[in-house]
Structure 1
C-alpha cells in the first residue's frame, strides 16, 4: 500500500466502546468498509446499538434517510477476532487507556497486517513513540485522536511519534478529512494539545465546585457564557466519563508535576462509581 487516501478502502477499529463505535460510524458513513472488533460479542453488539442510536438521531433531524442509515450499518462488520483486521488499509485502536494493553495490541497488529498498513492510536495521553516501539514498524504508527462524541465533534488531533513517517502523517490528516473532520497536529508530548489544556480546565472546575466558589450549574453556565464553549467543565467531565478524566489527569500529573494533580472530588466520585453520563450519575443525574 502506498501512502495516499485514494489507496484506503477498508478501515479496522479496535474497540467497540464509545470512541470505537463512533470511529466505525463516521468511517462507514464516509463510504469505507469497516471491521469493528472487541473482545466479547456482547461488547460488539453494544457498539452496534450505539451506532444505530446515533444514526437514528441523524434520521430524526433529517440529516440522513433511513435507507442511508441502514447502508452505514451494513458497511460495518463486527468481530471478536483480531485477525479479521488483517486486510484493512488503516487500523484505528480505541481500546482501554493502558500502555501495556496498547503495546500488546500494536505488536499483534504489526504482525498480522501487511507492511504499509497504517496503525493509528486514539490514545488520550499516552506516548505514541512508546506504543510504536512495541512494533517492528514504528514509522507506520501515528495518533489519530477523535473528539468525543465522534459523530458530532469536528476535530481530530494528529500526533507524530519519534519515528512516524511523513507519508503516514499525511495519510492520517487526509483520512480524518475524508471522514468529515478537521485536523491539527502536535508533537508527541504529554497530553498533546487537547488534553494538556482541557484536563486542567476540567480539574479546576471541579476544584472550584468542591471549594464552594459557585454551584455546579453556575460554574458551567459561567464558562459557557463567558468563553463560548458548548459545555462547562463539570458537564463535559460527566460526558467524557469521570474515570477517563481521572486517568488522563493522573497520567499528566505523573509526567508534568503538581499543576496537574487530580482534584480530590474527582477521585472520590470515581471511587463511588459515579462516572458521569454512562452510569447515570456524575456531577449531574441522567435518565
Structure 2
C-alpha cells in the first residue's frame, strides 16, 4: 500500500509539472524578453550565440553575482569537508585489495608512495587518462573560443577541463596527482573573480557603466577578420572560477581516500606490532 501511494504521488507530481511546463511554453505572450535578445544579440552583443551573449553581455552583472556565489559555495564545501572524517567501517581497503600476492607488481601494494601508478592494477586507464588531459584542454579551448557565436563558452569549457583533471585524481590517486601536478584550486577561484572584476572596472575606467562590453574588429593575415569582444576576458574569469570551484569541491572529497589509506596503514602497523610482541614473550620466558 505504501509503494502504491508513493507511486501515485510521484506520477501526480511529475505529470502536474509536465503539464504546467507545457502550458507555459505553448502559451503565446504579447510581450516577451526573448524577442529582445534575439533581435539585439548580434547587433549590440556582437555574437550569434544568444545564450552566451545574454550571460556575458546583457546580463553580465547577474552572471558576476552567480560566479561569486559559486566561489563561496566551493569554499564552504571545502571548509566543511576539511574536518569531516568518514565512518570507521568505510575507511578500510576492500578485501580484494588487502589480500594480493606479494609478487604481484601493482601500485595497490603501496598506492600513495608509488613512483608511477601506471603499473599493474589500472595500468591501461592510468595511461589513457594522462593522454586524455591535453585533449581535454584542447577541447576546452575550442569550446571557449567559439562560445560567443556557437554553442560553448567559459562555463562549459571549465567543466570539460575539470573533467580531465578529476580523472587524474580518480585513476592515479590524490597524493600522486598533487605531487606531480599542483593545481591550487583556491588560486583559480581568486584569479577568476579578479579577472571578471577587472573586466567590469575596465569599462568604468573608460567612462562606461560597469561591465559594458565592446567588440574590436581586427584583420590578421592568413586568418582574416577577427572580432575580439571584451566579454571574452569576463568569460575567462568564469572559466577559471568554474575550474577552481569544481576541483576544490571534488578534491575535498578525494582527500577522504587519503585518510582511509592512512587508517589502513595504522591498522597494519598495530597488527605487526602485536604479532612481534606475541613472538617475543615466549622467547623471554624461555630465557628466564
Asked which structure has the greater RCO (Cα within 8 Å, sep 6+), the reply is: 2
TM-score normalised by structure 1 residue count = 0.24
| Structure with more helix by fraction | 2
State the structure with more CA Rg.
2
TM-score of the pair, normalised by structure 2: 0.24
Higher strand share: 1
